[in-house]
Amino acid sequence: MAKTRNNHSEDSSLETKQNIFEISRSLFMTYGYRSVSTRQIAQACGITQPALYHHFGNKQEIYIEVVKEIMNRTKFQMIQIKEQYMAFKDRIYHIAIYMLMNHQEDLSQMFHDLKHEMNEETQQLLRQWWFDSYFLPVVEMIAEAEKGGQIRELAKLDTNPKEMSFFVLDLLKSLLQFSGLNNLKEEEKEAEAQRKAKLIVSIILNGLGS
């Protein structure tokens, strides 16, 4: 009986922590790190601040866990896309779809907070997570596409896979900032994400020249 009560207590604790996490992510990515307090998070979760601190030591700890989850989820999706699609254009298309559907605020707000709100040690940690989750997978895809003859030899363009990875991710980040997808219904959001993803592929592979 005691074991059953303990299991129930553990499940409830995990559920509370997950709820804190989900609500914190929404608040941080909507209003930014500085504008959100632990008091607001606790109120939004329907718990007291002491209960919040039972699960997380402080606001920065919550924020780091939120960013870590975003990075881990993105890294998993990058791996899935790389394994499922062989054509470079398909890989870029599905990366764009994933980011447009899941990262409407995340990236722009996250980069702002990283630059203005985090200490140098935390900045380095989060940059490394971004490097592993976003940057390196795209570098690998570009290098494979070049080796397989799917894109032009980058040396002839006086560039390399790393520089082109920054270009691709910057292009995605720019479209995310002005996507307006959050204001659309789900079906409209999917259709607009598909349109923008096709645009990204076209720009990357064909450019704007006639």
- Of 36-50, 124-138, 147-161, 183-197, give the lowest mean pLDDT range: 183-197
Residues 184, 108: one domain? yes
Residues 46, 65: one domain? no
- pLDDT > 60? residue 4: no
Domain boundary among 10, 25, 57: 57
Extract the tokens encoding 33: 């790190």
pLDDT higher at 84 or 15: 84
Using a 10 angstrom Cβ sphere, with 0-12 exposed, 13-18 middle and 19 or more buried, the burial of residue 185 is exposed
Question: What value does the mean pLDDT take over residues 133-146?
Answer: 97
Residues 112, 46: one domain? no
Residues 144, 168: one domain? yes
- pLDDT > 70? residue 64: yes
Q: How confident is the model at residue 209 (pLDDT cuts 50, 70, 90)?
A: confident
Look-up of token digits 């709820």? 19
**pLDDT value at residue 104:** 60
Extract the tokens encoding 22: 């989900």
Residue 15 to residue 51: CA distance in whole angstroms: 13
Domain interval for residue 124: 59-206
Q: CATH number of the domain that 4 lies in?
A: 1.10.10.60
- pLDDT > 90? residue 133: yes
Look-up of token digits 């990515």? 29
Q: CB neighbours (10 Å) of residue 144?
A: 16
Q: Give exposure, 81-107, as e/b (b: 16+ Cβ within 10 Å).
A: bbeebeebbebbbbbbbbbbbebbbbb
Q: Which of 115, 116, 111 is nearest to 169 (CA)?
A: 111
Residues 98, 33: one domain? no
Residues 86, 186: one domain? yes
Question: What value does the mean pLDDT take over residues 80-105?
Answer: 92
Q: Which of 172, 85, 104, 176 is nearest to 134 (CA)?
A: 172
Residues 184, 163: one domain? yes
Residues 36, 66: one domain? no
Extract the tokens encoding 127: 């940059």
Q: CATH number of the domain that 151 lies in?
A: 1.10.357
Q: CB neighbours (10 Å) of residue 28?
A: 24
Distances (CA, A) of 160 to 77, 200, 206: 24, 19, 18
> Are 141 and 88 spatial neighbours (Cβ–Cβ below 8 Å)?
yes
Domain boundary among 57, 74, 96: 57
**pLDDT value at residue 210:** 65
Look-up of token digits 């699609």? 85
- Structure pTM? 0.84
Residues 168, 188: one domain? yes
The overall average pLDDT reported for the chain is 88
Residues 83, 22: one domain? no
- When divided into structural domains, the chain yields a total of 2
Residues 49, 81: one domain? no
Look-up of token digits 């109120």? 43
Question: What value does the mean pLDDT take over residues 125-135?
Answer: 93
Domain boundary among 22, 41, 57: 57
Residues 114, 190: one domain? yes
Look-up of token digits 């254009």? 89
Extract the tokens encoding 158: 């006086």
